[in-house]
């Protein structure tokens, strides 16, 4: 049977029916032009203490300085600005462990659009409140990212909302990749990047940009031992389901999707290695950030620092650590900084 597609005269035609599944440097350059002025151009600052420890120049890319306290604004802003007018007007919907939901809510408010954020009951209360205070509708569903995602799919069909995926989307990956362009601008001699790794949007975007502009640079993903979905997928050679566990790096929780279209192949092909960390090692990263760098950093944001402290990444040459977010519960942060490991 031949299916003849109706001609789409409006905004629907702006996105190809078969979405592209890969991302290249030109996509990231387009994203950078689109989001300039709407997201922060974050600083890359030297870390004397980590440089001493490693015997290499170590720099911190402070995505904690984004208005929502995490890099996810880059991908969400780029994906929403890439939509046609009709898709935007229907309202945005996403599932999120927190920072992506916050990014979509912030983007919606900036652009005058509606947003519904679906999340599991495991998401910390401070993150839920932050999203509510940005004016988005919050729906709490189930106990896993998969339950929240099922609700997104239901709302897309039932109410016609426009989904903004947290990582497995070319426009989201291209938005996160703008970090890679800034790294090369600020540190042309870049030799190694340590990147927090969950669904892989951040790592894939940075890897595409950095490997295109400086092929000799190594990109190392860093995850927690408790439920490292991308590491398990790369080891298995295909996306696999992992059990979601509580971790200090809560923003790294959740699977990569068994039907992953974009980030799995890019991470498999472009990452030079993946490091896994214990909860105590992640806690040490959060403590170091607070005591030595004067930065409030959440568990997921501290894993690059933690990998260096644990001696699990031995970079050669100028190194950049992506400090991806700062959204940690105050009480948890105080407890960790005063010496606790969980």
Ligand X SMILES: *Cc1c(COP(=O)(O)O)cnc(C)c1O
Q: How far apart are CA 146 and CA 129, in angstroms?
A: 21
Q: How far apart are the first and last CA of the chain?
A: 59
CB of 152 to ligand X, least distance (A): 16
- Contacts of residue 269, defined as CB under 8 A and 6 or more positions apart, other chains included, come to none
Considering the complex, state which of residue 57 and residue 310 has its C-beta at the smaller distance from ligand X: 310
Residue 120 annotated among the catalytic residues of the structure: no
CB of 282 to ligand X, least distance (A): 12
CB of 144 to ligand X, least distance (A): 15
Phi, psi of 41 (to 5 degrees): -90, 100
Burial class (CB in 10 A: 0-12, 13-18, 19+), 29: middle
Considering the complex, state which of residue 57 and residue 307 has its C-beta at the smaller distance from ligand X: 307
> Which residues would be at the binding site for ligand X (CB under 6 A)?
70, 72, 99, 167, 196-203, 251-252, 298, 300-301, 324-325
CB of 39 to ligand X, least distance (A): 14
From the candidates 61, 72, 127, 211, give the one annotated as an active-site residue.
72
From the candidates 144, 198, 251, 324, give the one annotated as an active-site residue.
324
Considering the complex, state which of residue 105 and residue 197 has its C-beta at the smaller distance from ligand X: 197
Burial class (CB in 10 A: 0-12, 13-18, 19+), 330: exposed
> Smallest Cα–Cα separation from 289: which of 220, 336, 225?
336
Phi, psi of 114 (to 5 degrees): -85, 150
Element (H, E) at 45: strand 44-46
Considering the complex, state which of residue 309 and residue 323 has its C-beta at the smaller distance from ligand X: 323
Residue 324 annotated among the catalytic residues of the structure: yes
| 88 within 8 A of 162, measured Cβ to Cβ | yes
Considering the complex, state which of residue 28 and residue 70 has its C-beta at the smaller distance from ligand X: 70
Residue numbers annotated as active site? 72, 324
């Amino acid at each position: 049977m031949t299916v003849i597609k109706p001609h789409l005269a409006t905004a629907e035609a702006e996105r190809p029916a078969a979405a592209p599944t890969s991302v290249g440097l030109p996509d990231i350059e387009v994203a950078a032009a689109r989001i300039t002025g709407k997201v922060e151009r974050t600083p890359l600052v030297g870390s004397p203490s980590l440089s001493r420890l490693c015997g290499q120049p170590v720099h911190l890319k402070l995505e904690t300085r984004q208005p929502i306290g995490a890099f996810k604004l880059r991908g969400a802003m780029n994906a929403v600005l890439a939509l046609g007018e009709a898709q935007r007007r229907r309202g945005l919907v996403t599932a999120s462990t927190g920072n992506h939901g916050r990014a979509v809510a912030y983007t919606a408010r900036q652009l005058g659009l509606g947003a519904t954020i679906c999340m599991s009951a495991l998401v910390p209360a401070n993150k839920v409140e932050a999203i509510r205070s940005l004016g988005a509708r919050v729906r709490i569903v189930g106990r896993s990212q998969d339950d929240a995602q099922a609700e997104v799919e239901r709302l897309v069909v039932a109410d016609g909302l426009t989904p903004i995926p947290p990582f497995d989307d070319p426009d989201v990956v291209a938005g996160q990749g703008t970090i890679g362009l800034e790294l090369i601008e600020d540190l042309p001699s870049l030799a190694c990047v340590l990147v927090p790794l969950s669904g892989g949007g951040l790592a894939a975007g940075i890897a595409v940009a950095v490997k295109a502009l400086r092929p000799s640079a190594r990109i190392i993903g860093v995850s927690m031992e408790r439920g490292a979905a991308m590491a398990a997928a790369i080891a298995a050679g295909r996306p696999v389901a992992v059990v979601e566990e509580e971790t200090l790096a809560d923003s790294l929780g959740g699977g990569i999707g068994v039907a992953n279209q974009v980030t799995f192949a890019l991470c498999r092909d472009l990452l030079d290695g993946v490091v896994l960390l214990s909860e105590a090692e992640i806690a040490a990263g959060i403590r170091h950030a607070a005591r030595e760098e004067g930065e409030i950093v959440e568990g997921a944001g501290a894993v690059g620092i933690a990998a260096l402290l644990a001696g699990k990444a031995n970079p050669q040459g100028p190194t950049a650590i992506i400090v991806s977010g700062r959204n940690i519960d105050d009480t948890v942060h105080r407890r960790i900084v005063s010496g606790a490991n969980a």
